[in-house]
Amino acid sequence: MTEQSNGGPTGDAPTNDGQQFDRLPATADDREVEGRATREEVLDWWDQRFAIRPETFEEYSFWEKGKGKIWILHGEVSSPIRIEALGMKFLRTRQEHWKPTTNAVQRFGREATKNVVELTREEARRFVRGEDQELDWDGDWGYLVATHDLAGEREPLGVGLFVHGELKSLVPKGRQRDL
C-alpha cells in the first residue's frame, strides 16, 4: 500500500486510484496521471459535441474516480478525497469515443444546440423503454442528446447513439420506463 497515488516512494509514474476522487488537471501541462482527461478537454468536448459553452461549467469542478469515470461537483472540496460519491457521474473517458451519462445530459443538455435530436412523443416512449429505432437523421454519427417537448419546452430525455440509420437508446435499465 502506497501512501498516495500521486508519486509513490518508488518513483513509479502516478496512476489512477479507484478508491479516491482526484481533481482533473486544468490543462495537459498540469497532468500527472497518464491518460487522465483535463478540465480543458472536458469543456472542449461538450462545446465541440453539443455546443454547450464552457462558461456553463464555470462554478463546477471535475473529478476522476474509477478509470475514466469523470464526476462533476458544483463547488470544490480538497483533492484527493476518499469518499463514496461526489456530485454526479458526468462523462466516461479513456475510450475512443467519450460518452456522457443520462443524468448529465438531463441536467445540462437543455443548453445543447448541436447533435440534438427532437423526438415525437411516440419516439420518446420507445426511447425511454430502452428500444432502438430507425431514425431519419442526416447529422453526425455518434452520441446525441435526445429530447422531446414537455410542458411547452424541449426537455432532454438522455443519450442516444446514432449509427447506420438507427438511434440506440442508452437509457440505463434502472432509468427505463414504460410511459
Partner 1 sequence: MEKLERYEPLVEEFDAFLDACQRPLPSVVRVNTIKATPERARAALDDEGVGWTGREWSDAVLELDTDNPGSTWASYHGWIHGQEEVSAIPAEVLAPEPGERVWDACAAPGSKTTQLAALMDDEGLVVANDNNLGRLSALRFNTERLGVTNTAVTNTDSRNFSLKPFDFDSFDKALVDVPCSCEGTIRKNPTTLDDWSLNHVRSVAGVQKGILTRAIQATKEGGTVVYSTCTFAPEENEAVLDYALDAEDCRLVEFDFPLDSRPGVTEFEDESYDESVRKAKRFYPHHNDTGGFFCAKLEVTG
Interacting residues with partner 1 (CB under 8 A): 59-60, 72-75, 77-78, 81-89, 101, 103, 106-107, 128, 150-153, 155, 157, 174-175, 177-179
Smallest gap from residue 56 Cβ to partner 1 (A):
12
Q: Which is nearer to partner 1, 13 or 83 (CB)?
A: 83
For 119, the 3-state DSSP assignment is coil
Q: Which is nearer to partner 1, 36 or 148 (CB)?
A: 148
Q: Which is nearer to partner 1, 164 or 177 (CB)?
A: 177
Smallest gap from residue 164 Cβ to partner 1 (A):
27
Query: How far apart (Å, rounded) are the C-alpha atoms in residues 104 and 102?
Result: 6
- Using alpha carbons, select from 136, 132, 161 the residue that is nearest to residue 146: 161
DSSP 8-state class, residue 35: T
- In contact, 55 and 35? CB cutoff 8 Å: no
